[in-house]
Structure 1
Amino acid sequence: MNFDAFLSGFRGTALEPWLATIEADIEAGLSLKRYGDLPRWLESLHALPELKPSLINLDSDTITVDGPTNETQQQQIEQALRGLHPWRKGPFQVFDTFIDTEWRSDWKWQRLAPHIAPLEGRTVLDVGCGSGYHCWRMRGAGADLVLGIDPTPLFIVQFQALQHFIQDQRVGVLPLGIEHVPAGLKAFDTVFSMGILYHRRSPIDHLLQLRDTLRAGGELVLETLVIDGGPSDCLVPEGRYARMGNVWFLPSTDMLELWLRKTGFKNVRTVDVTTTSTDEQRRTGWMQFHSLAQFINSEQPELTIEGYPAPKRAIVLAEAP
């Protein structure tokens, strides 16, 4: 995978100082010593046929790449994409292959899109972006440059599978975490952190990191698990939560807003709270492992299998000082 064309877009912008370290961090993020499956994933990526699509749609619920193919090419596409299982975020339509991902990520986009500042012309960061579904939606909404970061190489390869056909060098997904963003960069107009905060041992530090990526007045779009309650309520699971072992803090929306104000954010407001359903997160032919239905109590679906409140997710917006 070559990221040079995308990184060239950093030159002459507030992102340019990052070029001093980013290539070394990308190389470390794709280390074969850490990810033994990477050669197999790359083999699937390289098996995709060379095709120029006649239709690319980044502004619909299903990211779509389409055009004429023959039977052999379509078989190559299907086999290559299935070699990148599991697909978590989507959906995608790649010629005749529909990737029915675990998450209906389009539902989340529908919930947040009416509330956020228009993305036209903006430089955008998506932290923990997975396969890049929302990055494509951001670009489709008019963002000038979209950078997604995620430390899981499989997701980078999945993004590259779409990029193989789309060839839009103003969108990139890199094998990085937020800790690789230079301190005080303050280069982004909008920053998304969705499904990340509850995985952080120190949520306050994560909010400070997010604040430092934003220009003054830039918008944070924060989506995370929450519980019902007031400004002093926060769940700290003693063991696993919905079978996830790395869940640390689930605040109420009042407490979450307080954290944001405490870290200097302005105009903090919760715009959506939705209980996650087994229609939005589920096992499919493209994600065949356990999913939400196996993580909640079948007799009391308002509880996880551990007895905690079932997953409820909030979207909170805030402005950087």
Structure 2
Amino acid sequence: MRNEYDNEKFFEEYGKMPRSREGLSAAGEWHQLKLLFPPLQGKRVLDLGCGYGWHCNFAAEQGAAKILGIDLSKKMIEKAKHENIADQIEYRVCGIEDYEYPENTWDCVISNLALHYVKDIGQIFQKVHKTLKENGVFIFNIEHPVFTSGVGQDWIYTEDGALQYWPIDNYFITGERKTNFLGCNITKQHHTLTQILMGLLDNGFKLKVVEEAKPSEEMMDIPGMRDELRRPMMLLVKSIAKKGE
């Protein structure tokens, strides 16, 4: 898993995004994602790719007893330690692929917009299943396969600069995708819908919710938000770890 977020220019530009400045309320998917969380009072929560720690802070507000947020980016973890702190939150510089995933340890594992940087997503599903307790909940938000298979992950524009359509190519050719994001060259990993959903089922999970993210009606006045209805950008999934089945 490559660390794009410790690039000084990229990190600076990332910090200017509404979701970076305003937190969960400015994230277009939050009105859907927050409904997937189980009751967290007294629970143990692991956040894979925690970024600024917004979801760790949410878990703390919901009464979670212990929360661990891991991220490969030192800059992200430093920001989290200043922006979203609570007695029950621990932050650690650690890649999703490098974490030890102790067996039967966590009640809930969450991951927001991080798994599309992971090459072997099936292996991570296997490790998450191992570290969850029986009936533990795994919630994640990943860039939608329609988005990651987009050509350059950008629109086709008319001559006058209007958005024309979203091009898709090489959908079934999985793996590395190069794109330009926030003025920087970024490498992501494209996974098909089959890989994602069957990867969960093949590794002992029971699917509970599969939902494509779209902005709320209240956000439609924000420039560009209506265009988010033209193609899905994110895929939200809630699954339950079943042991011994």
TM-score range, shorter chain: 0.5 to 0.7
From the superposition, tell whether residues 152 and 90 of structure 1 become closer, same or farther in structure 2 (CA, over 3 Å).
farther
From the superposition, tell whether residues 101 and 180 of structure 1 become closer, same or farther in structure 2 (CA, over 3 Å).
same
From the superposition, tell whether residues 103 and 150 of structure 1 become closer, same or farther in structure 2 (CA, over 3 Å).
farther
From the superposition, tell whether residues 314 and 173 of structure 1 become closer, same or farther in structure 2 (CA, over 3 Å).
same
For residues 120-176 of structure 1, give each alpha carbon's deviation from its aligned partner in whole angstroms, at most 9, with x where no partner exists. 11100000010101110111112111111001111111122235xx5x221122111
RMSD: 3.7
Q: Which residue of 2 aligns with 1:131?
A: 52
Match of 1:240 among 159, 168, 178: 178
The reply to whether residue 155 of structure 1 matches residue 155 of structure 2 is: no
- Counterpart Cα distance in 1 of 2:173 and 2:215: 17
Is the 8 Å Cα contact of residues 130 and 150 (structure 1) preserved in structure 2?
yes
1:221 Cα deviation after fit:
0.3
Q: How do 1:88-167 residues align onto structure 2 when only pairs under 5 Å count?
A: 99-100=21-22, 104-105=26-27, 107-162=28-83
Gaps of 5+ in 2: 1-5, 147-170
Count of residue pairs the alignment pairs up: 203
Is the 8 Å Cα contact of residues 89 and 103 (structure 1) preserved in structure 2?
no
Query: Letter of the aligned partner of 1:251 in structure 2?
Result: T
Gaps of 5+ in 1: 1-34, 38-82, 93-98, 281-292, 294-300, 303-308
- Counterpart Cα distance in 1 of 2:116 and 2:138: 16
From the superposition, tell whether residues 239 and 195 of structure 1 become closer, same or farther in structure 2 (CA, over 3 Å).
closer
SS at structure 1 position matched to 2:178: coil
From the superposition, tell whether residues 114 and 310 of structure 1 become closer, same or farther in structure 2 (CA, over 3 Å).
closer
SS at structure 2 position matched to 1:137: helix
Structure that is richer in strand per residue: 2
The reply to whether residue 264 of structure 1 matches residue 204 of structure 2 is: yes
For residues 187-210 of structure 1, give each alpha carbon's deviation from its aligned partner in whole angstroms, at most 9, with x where no partner exists. 100000221222111111121122
The reply to whether residue 194 of structure 1 matches residue 122 of structure 2 is: no
From the superposition, tell whether residues 214 and 310 of structure 1 become closer, same or farther in structure 2 (CA, over 3 Å).
same
- Counterpart Cα distance in 2 of 1:154 and 1:147: 17
1:179 Cα deviation after fit:
3.6
From the superposition, tell whether residues 224 and 235 of structure 1 become closer, same or farther in structure 2 (CA, over 3 Å).
farther
1:248 Cα deviation after fit:
1.9
Q: Which residue of 2 aligns with 1:250?
A: 191
Query: Letter of the aligned partner of 1:198 in structure 2?
Result: H
Q: Which residue of 2 aligns with 1:42?
A: none
1:86 Cα deviation after fit:
4.5
- Counterpart Cα distance in 1 of 2:7 and 2:141: 31
Q: How do 1:1-321 residues align onto structure 2 when only pairs under 5 Å count?
A: 86-87=14-15, 99-100=21-22, 104-105=26-27, 107-162=28-83, 168-227=86-145, 234=172, 236=174, 239-241=177-179, 243=181, 245-252=186-193, 255-266=195-206, 268-275=207-214, 312-321=233-242
Structure 1 residue ranges (4+ consecutive) displaced by more than 6 angstroms after TM superposition: none
- Which protein is bigger by CA-based radius of gyration? 1
- Counterpart Cα distance in 2 of 1:162 and 1:274: 26
1:271 Cα deviation after fit:
3.9
1:36 Cα deviation after fit:
10
From the superposition, tell whether residues 111 and 89 of structure 1 become closer, same or farther in structure 2 (CA, over 3 Å).
farther
1:87 Cα deviation after fit:
2.3
- Counterpart Cα distance in 1 of 2:71 and 2:19: 18
Identity of aligned residues (%): 22
From the superposition, tell whether residues 131 and 90 of structure 1 become closer, same or farther in structure 2 (CA, over 3 Å).
farther
From the superposition, tell whether residues 218 and 100 of structure 1 become closer, same or farther in structure 2 (CA, over 3 Å).
closer
SS at structure 1 position matched to 2:189: coil
- Counterpart Cα distance in 2 of 1:262 and 1:87: 37
Please identify, of 239-248 and 188-197, the stretch whose mean Cα deviation from structure 2 is larger.
Answer: 239-248
